[in-house]
Structure 1
Amino acid sequence: MAHGTQDVAPVITPTGDTMWLVRSYPLGRSVLSDKRFSRAHAVTAHAPKLNDAQPVPNSMMSMDGAEHTRLRRIVAGAFTTGRVSEMAPTVGRLVDQQLDALAAAGPEADLIEQLAAPLPLAVLCSLLGVPPEDASRFRGWVEVLFDISASTPGEKSRRRLELVDYMEELIERKRQQPQDDLLTALIETHDRGALTMGELLTLGLTLLMAGYETTVGQIGLTVLSLLSAPGTLADVRRNPQALASTVEETLRLNPATPLSFPRVAVEPVPLGDVTVQPGEGVMVSLLHGNRDGTVFAEPESLSADGRDAVHLTFGHGVHRCLGAPLARLQVQIVLERLLGRFPALQLATGRDAVVWKDGLVTRGLSRLLVEW
């Protein structure tokens, strides 16, 4: 991608607002780490919007400065690389359960319905302490909230209220019967006065919602990337040590999150060939940034040897995805065990083997048929 006027271009969003879309890797990183581009200003009533599925103003993802830092610090400990690596046996057990069911139903299966969708929900429920029997109710609520075309704003409001009611009830249950999980730890933080009840509720919901649909999408897209690249697949089968760098490449090439959350300029900011004025919205195309040919050699190809530059799939700066280590762990364990368990795994034949999901904030598949 040559640097020039196309690096920063005006776009009209589905809500009819105009925003700047940043498509180069260096400018994207600068926007994501520049305090002059505010997340808090982007969720005010009159700010330009991308769609009607944005985080609420008291979400950690909608805050700037000290307020954002305070909330992030409270939960960051649960998502350190070390803490997440302790979850590997739990994730492995949950993956094996899904693969057992897959093997029993085979030799053809839909990897989305039978692996990519149930796994992240089971992992998040285990982390937060949501009873497994509540998972299917929760999945229905979240899918409506993330859908930007098939559900009305009224339906979203109703589902959001149902989710809040559920979370209030779960917090009360945890208070009566504390357990070794993240939600119990957050309740204890609230009881010490470091979190308001509203913040506790929103944090619980944010952690569940932010880690679900994106990881479902990422697992499906990663498996699709690898099965569509027979040479790389053969390399990984011969050399399992190449799996970690291959996962990073599939994350770069096929991110489930194509766009950053919008930000709004709080003062004039020169950006490439334009100057973004106060009140104007800016989004970063993580998809374009990850394929910027000035940063990544042969950007469209999947390299199992690793890259020098860090991809933008999990964002950059203070709002970089907290759950990145957990998402990465799930994708790695899924690929490792899937390829080990089904050495002849391949995409099923037929035009309907791969079906993309429509109308989501994130990218993902509604069907991924494989055979072995």
Structure 2
Amino acid sequence: MTKAFTTGRTAAMAPAVEELADRHLDALEASGPGTDLIEALVAPLPLAVLCSLLGVPPEDATRFRDWVEVLFDISASTPQEKARRRLELIDYMADLIDRKRRRPQDDLLTSMIAAHEQGDLSMGELLTMGLTLLMAGYETVVGQLGLSVHALLHDPAAYGEVCGQPDRLAPTVEELLRLTPSTPISFPRVAVEPVPLGSVTVQAGEGVIVSLLHGNRDGRTFPEPGLLDPQGHDAAHLTFGHGVHRCLGAPLARLQLQIVLGRLTRRFPTLRTAAGPDAVVWKDGLGTRGLARLRVEW
């Protein structure tokens, strides 16, 4: 899996991501001086990138988005509806794997099928990994893009710096990842033996959840931890995890953030959040943070 998300392989995807971003921004500009940025750009672009990487046919993208958004939204559907959508998604992935086994292509899912046939992945692992990449790789990046634009629009000085000094883009992206992560907490983990942690000992059998949101604002590590520093920090944030649990898709997420924010600020230097209480609507998400609506004007 790590071979698919190396910095080099991810960088090779940059032209395709740039083309997608330009296409969506062209349509956004043509539609008029105001739009819902989530619907026009933030949601469709990561979906197209992920589908291209994995090998999901473009005509299936809309169905997949509907499935994932129902599964991650804790208020939009009943438990029965979630269960039905989950089964539909599993059936879809199993069918897609079968199709690619018969007609291999140059994509990540085909590579995973080859690993399964060599005995490196069981069928259950293949199915689970495919679903995990599709769901987590889409929902988290959509959330991060929306939150990043939202944060920049609420900090006009930072937005202006990125517009006027493109070299500030990369450190600004890292600051946005640090300050407003779409994944605010880690997966729960359970200690198998007593673990001293600061002034506390986590006993065997006790669960631990790490607040990435708070760790990223640790005043002992980051001076003025609540402020966006366009020059960035030397210390690493925890948004993508750490060590062997580090997010595989981190390079691809960074690439999309840098391309979208770079092009958005260059083409729309006067972008601002629209007036009115309904301009910004937050998702009732499960495990991830994000926006359901971000109406903007320029």
TM-score w.r.t. length of structure 1:
0.78
The yes-or-no answer on 1:226 pairing with 2:152 is: yes
5+ long unaligned stretches in structure 2: none
What is aligned with 1:236?
Answer: 162
1:187 paired residue number = 113
Q: Which amino acid aligns with 1:282?
A: V
Q: 1:265 to 1:153 in 2, by over 3 A?
A: farther
Counterparts in 2 of 1:62-81, with a 5 A limit? 75-81=1-7
Residue in structure 2 matched with residue 327 of structure 1 by the alignment: 253
Q: Find the aligned partners of 2:237 and 2:160 in 1 and give their Cα distance.
A: 24
Secondary structure class of the residue paired with 2:296: strand
Instruction: Give 1:270 shift.
Output: 1.6
- Aligned partners of 1:147 and 1:361 also within 8 Å: no
2:269 maps to 1:356: no
Out of 188-197 and 302-311, give the one that drifted further: 188-197
Amino acid at match of 2:93: M
Aligned residue runs from structure 1 range 68-107, under 5 A: 75-107=1-33
Pairing of 1:304-319 with structure 2 (within 5 A): 304-319=230-245
Question: Does residue 166 in structure 1 map to residue 85 in structure 2?
Answer: no
Deviation at 1:148, TM superposition (A): 3.0
Where 1:305 maps in the other structure, the secondary structure is coil
Give 1:359 shift: 3.7
Please, which of 276, 291, 307 is the counterpart of residue 217 of structure 2? Answer: 291
Residue matched to 1:29: none
Moved more, 251-260 or 354-363: 354-363
Q: Any idea what the Cα deviations from partners look like across 1:207-237, whole Å, max 9, x if unmatched?
A: 1111111100100011111111111122222
Q: Partner amino acid for 2:233?
A: R
TM alignment of 1:114-193, pairs within 5 A: 114-193=40-119
Q: CA deviation at 1:150?
A: 3.6
One-letter amino acid matched to 1:350: G
Task: Give the aligned partner of residue 113 of structure 1.
Answer: 39
Contact 2:162 2:265 (C-alpha < 8 Å) held by counterparts: no
CA contact (8 A) 1:79 1:326 kept: yes
Q: Determine the C-alpha separation between the residues in 2 that align with 1:148 and 1:320.
A: 26
Identity of aligned residues (%): 72
Q: How many residues align?
A: 298
Superposition deviation, residue 155 in structure 1: 2.8
Opposite residue 131 of structure 1, the aligned amino acid is P
In structure 1, C-alpha distance between the alignment counterparts of 2:285 and 2:143, rounded to whole Å: 13
- TM-score normalised by L of structure 2: 0.97
Aligned to 1:214: 140
Matched, 1:272 2:219: no
2:270 pairs with 1:341: no
Alpha-carbon shift at residue 185 of structure 1 (Å)? 1.1
Residue identity in the other structure for 1:365: L
**Separation in 1, partners of 2:17, 2:235:** 28
Per mean C-alpha deviation after superposition, the further-off stretch among 148-157 and 96-105 is 148-157
In the alignment, is residue 205 of structure 1 matched against residue 138 of structure 2?
Answer: no
Amino acid at match of 2:17: V
| Residue number in structure 1 paired with 2:181 | 255
Provide the C-alpha distance between the structure 2 equivalents of 1:239 and 1:359, rounded to a whole number of angstroms.
34
In 2, Cα distance between the equivalents of 1:235 and 1:160? 43
CA distance in 1: counterparts of 2:88 and 2:17, whole angstroms: 28
Deviation (angstroms), 1:370: 1.0
By how many angstroms is 1:153 displaced?
Answer: 3.5
Q: Which runs of 5+ in 1 are unaligned?
A: 1-74
The one-letter amino acid of 2:198's match is G
